[in-house]
Amino acid sequence: MKATISHLRELQAIDLKISTLDKEIAANSAEIDNRRASLDGHKETLGQLSAKIAANEQRRRELEAELQEEQSRINDRQTKLMNVQTNREYQSILKETEDGKKANKQREDAVVLLMEQIEALTAQIEEETKICDEDEKMLAEDIATLEKKTSQSTTEKNKILKTRESKASAVAATLLKKYTSIRDKRNGLAIVPVTGGVCRGCFMNIPPQLYNDLMKEDKLISCPTCHRIMFHQPETDEE
């Protein structure tokens, strides 16, 4: 039975190492994804800023065209004023002219505002482009580093998996199934030491008679609380 316990402990140590490597690989992958997402966010912002500039430029051109058209109408009205026959007609054309000038003044103000907005947006684009370029350069370097780490972890994991196959083959199939089931349910710990009558998996006291049976090391015993497989570990050897 001591040999069986020893095999299970070795197997668990291997599985814990594999779990650690899996977490490292997943963390590296997540870091790469997060950095790419951040870069994509900057690129999306650049696209939105460019779209705003394009829209403002389009509106500015429209306003400038309206300005020219209205100015042409104002010039025509001012010419007509010289040839009007009645005061009523004179006042009508004069009002239309003044209204046209007011409308053009509003258009001119709107054009100035649009140009200011375009200038501010252009500055934002320059800043975002700078950040984007720096992030892209750093991302390429970081991805190369993380991919190297991932490759090393994967290589190490593959080697360990071969060792695991050998260790697992030394455990009876039914026991291996039980071990795997407990491990899946108990955060990777299927076999735990008991020191001073306390299960080191759930830190609960086990019954004295069960503890005595455990110390004999002639059969596999599970913790009545957490159901992990237990083995006796003297207090002087406590990890």
pLDDT by residue (tens digit) across 117-160? 999 999 999 998 988 888 888 888 888 888 888 899 999 999 99
User: CATH number, domain at 134?
Assistant: 1.10.287.1490
Whether the CB-CB separation of 228 and 190 falls below 8 Å is answered with: yes
pLDDT at 239: 46
77 occurs within a structural domain: yes
Higher pLDDT pick, 98 / 2:
98
pLDDT surpasses 60 at 219: yes
Question: Do 126 and 88 share a structural domain?
Answer: yes
Question: Do 39 and 127 share a structural domain?
Answer: yes
Q: What is the pTM of this model?
A: 0.64
Task: Name the domain boundary from 119, 151, 183.
Answer: 151
What percent of the chain lies above the pLDDT cut of 70? 98
pLDDT at 18: 92
Residue 205 belongs to what domain range? 174-234
pLDDT at 76: 93
23 occurs within a structural domain: no
Question: Do 133 and 59 share a structural domain?
Answer: yes
pLDDT band per the 50, 70, 90 thresholds, residue 238: very low
pLDDT surpasses 80 at 175: yes
19 occurs within a structural domain: no
8 occurs within a structural domain: no
pLDDT at 237: 46
66 occurs within a structural domain: yes
Whether the CB-CB separation of 129 and 116 falls below 8 Å is answered with: no
Number of structural domains, the chain? 2
pLDDT at 134: 86
Question: Do 178 and 147 share a structural domain?
Answer: no
Cα end-to-end distance, the chain, whole Å: 22
The stretch 7-32 carries a mean pLDDT of 91
pLDDT at 115: 95
224 occurs within a structural domain: yes
pLDDT at 136: 84
Question: Do 147 and 35 share a structural domain?
Answer: yes
pLDDT at 36: 85
pLDDT at 177: 95
Question: Do 90 and 40 share a structural domain?
Answer: yes
Task: Name the domain boundary from 136, 151, 166.
Answer: 151
Burial 219-228 (b: 16+ CB within 10 A, else e): ebbbbeebbb
pLDDT band per the 50, 70, 90 thresholds, residue 197: very high
Handedness of CA 27, 29, 30, 36 (dihedral sign): positive
6 occurs within a structural domain: no
Report the DSSP pairing between strands 198-199 and 229-232. Answer: unpaired
183 occurs within a structural domain: yes
